[in-house]
Amino acid sequence: MRATKSRADRGTMPLLEHLRELRTRLLLAMAAISVFATVAWQFYAQIFTFIRSPLDDAVDTAARRGIDVTLSMTTMTDAFTLRLQVCAAAGVIAAMPYILFHLWRFVTPGLHRHEKRWAFSFLAAAVPLFAAGVAFAYIALPQALVVLLGFTPDKVSNIIPVPVYVGFLLRMLLVFGCAFVAPVLIVVLNLASVLPARAVFARWRVIILGSTLFGAIATPTSDPFNMMIVAAPLMLLIFGAGVVCLFNEKMRARRTSTQPELSDDEPSSLP
């Protein structure tokens, strides 16, 4: 085992051993998900209360406006299926640090030192930003639901199937989490001198169109408001990343300008 680990760290493992290592790490990740999902099964009531909280806040506001909202189960198996889905999602979320650790251990042996640095920087920034995106979506969701429920006509009640609401909630949390991570990838590529800042601003039409399409696909409903609550923050984050890239290029140019110029036949100093 020690020999295998050392060969993996040197990036000299043959393909078959890489596949075996991948299988082992996948099994460990699945085992961790199963353990956390089992724990979540025992705390399902508390988890479902947390999931339902944004809708409860929206329902209270809608009730004051005379709008009736009721959660429902449409089939006999919905309650059991819903519990499986919620516990599985909770298991994946709880095991994500462990999964990322094994992903890092599997990928890094094949990277150069500077590539490891960029990859570590990306993960270090992406994880808290993903959590911030999820938190932002969870906090903003009650107001978004109030706006959507406000379109209910008079003398009409909203009967929302629970699996539909839970699927909508999980999709919004995932979409906002990924949207908050996208600018980090842009900044990392710029730091690695792969993506210049002018390329971000030159394609502003593509960014607007892509963000709008992303919002439409992520929230497949007929109202434009639901689409824009996803597309607008994504556009702001991408253009904000472009501003960071522009600032980084100016700092890089300033550092380059302060270095002494050498003639063609003069050797440069080595660190």
Q: How many domains does the chain have?
A: 1
Query: Does residue 137 lie within any of the structural domains?
Result: yes
Structure tokens that stand for 6 in this block: 């050392």
CB 25 within 8 A of CB 106: yes
Query: Does residue 163 lie within any of the structural domains?
Result: yes
| Strands, E assignment, 46-178 | 69-72, 158-161
Query: Does residue 271 lie within any of the structural domains?
Result: no
User: What Cα–Cα distance (Å) separates residue 206 from each residue in 148, 212, 216, 233, 236?
Assistant: 28, 10, 15, 16, 14
Query: Does residue 74 lie within any of the structural domains?
Result: yes
Confidence (pLDDT) at 189? 75
Q: Is the dihedral of CA 33, 34, 38, 44 positive or negative?
A: positive
What is the pTM for the complete model shown?
Answer: 0.65
CB 144 within 8 A of CB 62: no
| Residue pLDDT, tens place only, 244-259 | 888 878 887 777 766 5
Task: Give one word for 250, left, alpha or beta, with left for phi > 0 and alpha for psi -120 to 50.
Answer: alpha
Q: Which domain holds residue 107?
A: 2-257
Structure tokens that stand for 207 in this block: 């960014």
Query: Does residue 77 lie within any of the structural domains?
Result: yes
Cβ neighbours of residue 152 under 8 Å, at least 6 residues apart? 62, 67, 158
| Residue pLDDT, tens place only, 136-185 | 888 888 877 887 787 788 778 888 888 888 888 888 888 778 777 878 77
Query: Does residue 262 lie within any of the structural domains?
Result: no
Q: Using CA atoms, how far apart are residues 249 and 251, in angstroms rounded to an integer?
A: 5
Query: Does residue 161 lie within any of the structural domains?
Result: yes
CB 179 within 8 A of CB 133: yes
| Residue pLDDT, tens place only, 45-92 | 999 999 889 888 888 888 887 888 888 888 888 888 889 988 998 898
Confidence (pLDDT) at 30? 92
**Which of the 8 DSSP states describes residue 107?**
H
Query: Does residue 241 lie within any of the structural domains?
Result: yes
User: What Cα–Cα distance (Å) separates residue 186 from each residue in 94, 104, 196, 243, 251?
Assistant: 27, 20, 9, 11, 17
